[in-house]
Amino acid sequence: MCEARGGGWTALRICLTCGWVACSDDSPNRHAQAHYQETDHPLAAATEPGSTWRWCYVHERLV
């Protein structure tokens, strides 16, 4: 999505509810947060191999 628009991204996040992959909240377009706001899917994870990073949008904290 970001690259198609000519923008970049800092990191990618995957929705743990539906599997949608989007740019992180540190990226200019914040598509992962936009996905949460549109769907109410609360949990996202890092896509980097071996990462244990998980974010809960409802509680706005790492889980």
pLDDT tens-digit map of 7-56: 666 789 999 999 999 999 888 889 999 999 999 999 999 999 999 999 99
Element at 36 (helix H, strand E) = helix 31-39
- Domain with 43 in it: 12-62
- Please check whether residue 29 lies inside any domain of the structure: yes
**pLDDT for the residue 28:** 85
**pLDDT for the residue 9:** 63
Number of compact structural domains in the chain: 1
**pLDDT for the residue 29:** 86
- Please check whether residue 4 lies inside any domain of the structure: no
- Please check whether residue 1 lies inside any domain of the structure: no
- Please check whether residue 3 lies inside any domain of the structure: no
- Please check whether residue 2 lies inside any domain of the structure: no
**pLDDT for the residue 24:** 92
Own/partner pairs for 3-9, CB < 8 Å, 24+ apart?
A: 5/29
Please say if the pLDDT value at position 1 is more than 80: no
- Please check whether residue 6 lies inside any domain of the structure: no
**pLDDT for the residue 6:** 55
